[in-house]
Chains A and B, each alone.
Chain A
Amino acid sequence: QLQLQESGPGLVKPSETLSLTCTVSGGSISSSSYYWGWIRQPPGKGLEWIGSIYYSGNTYYNPSLKSRVTISVDTSKNQFSLKLSSVTAADTAVYYCGRHLGTVTTCFEYWGQGTLVTVSS
């Protein structure tokens, strides 16, 4: 059974860079045809797609976040990562990593449990 686990600091200071890693188990991140990605959910609010990546490194980003986001993949560690720069309080959210059903235009089928990141000084 595929499992995803987010990890990283739970507290980030304003203007700094948020860094999270998603570790995949029960399957290979290098499997063909699957995209992997990040979604966030501010407390009490809805879901927002951040971006997605293929094992080859091909990426898609939310246009509203694109200037601040970098998603990368490390196939040797079966992990992919998220960096969000110049964070503000508005970036406080539960961050989920997930695997698409197939290509990037298919939905997130598998989700991690999520990790709360708070932006505060």
Chain B
Amino acid sequence: QSVLTQPPSASGTPGQRVTISCSGSSSNIGSNYLYWYQQLPGTAPKLLIYRNNQRPSGVPDRFSGSKSGTSASLAISGLRSEDEADYYCAAWDDSLSGWVFGGGTKLTVL
């Protein structure tokens, strides 16, 4: 069981907007930044969103993040076939003094 909760799957058609949720608690999302990673098949995770809603250089503005209380979400607009990947949320947990991850959401582009 992952400390952060994500839906196991999500899907959308090209051009659509999809959102992926991530819920946690006061000791992680509620008191620390939330981060999102994209993992394409057979590759290492890639940082997609940092500090709740910031995009590293090179990440398209189709990707956006938000956080409210103990929950967060990743939105992908203008869905493209190359967005098909696993997405993970992550946060520092003050109670554990360590990093916790969501179980991952597999995004399928139909």
Binding site for B on A (CB under 8 A): 39, 46-49, 60-63, 96, 101, 104-109, 111-114
Contacts and interface: CB of A to CB of B under 8 A. Distances in A.
Contacts, number: 53
Contacts of A101: 50
Contact of A107 (B2, B43, B47, B102): B47
Interface string B33-54: 1010100000111110010000
B27 to A, nearest CB: 12
B98 interface: yes
Interface stretch (B14-22, B72-80, B89-97): B89-97
Contacts of B2: 46
A101 B35 CA distance: 11
Contacts of A49: 98-101
20 contacts: A46-B88, A46-B104, A47-B88, A47-B101, A47-B104, A49-B98, A49-B100, A60-B97, A61-B98, A62-B98, A63-B96, A101-B50, A105-B32, A105-B92, A106-B33, A106-B92, A107-B50, A108-B47, A109-B56, A111-B45
Contacts of B98: 49, 60-63
B90 A47 contact: yes
A36 to B, nearest CB: 13
Contacts of A108: 45, 47
Classify the interface of chain A: helix, strand, loop or mixed.
Answer: loop
B88 A96 contact: no
B44 A96 contact: yes
Interface string B6-35: 000000000000000000000000001101
Contacts of A105: 32, 92
A113 B37 CA distance: 15
B44 A114 contact: yes
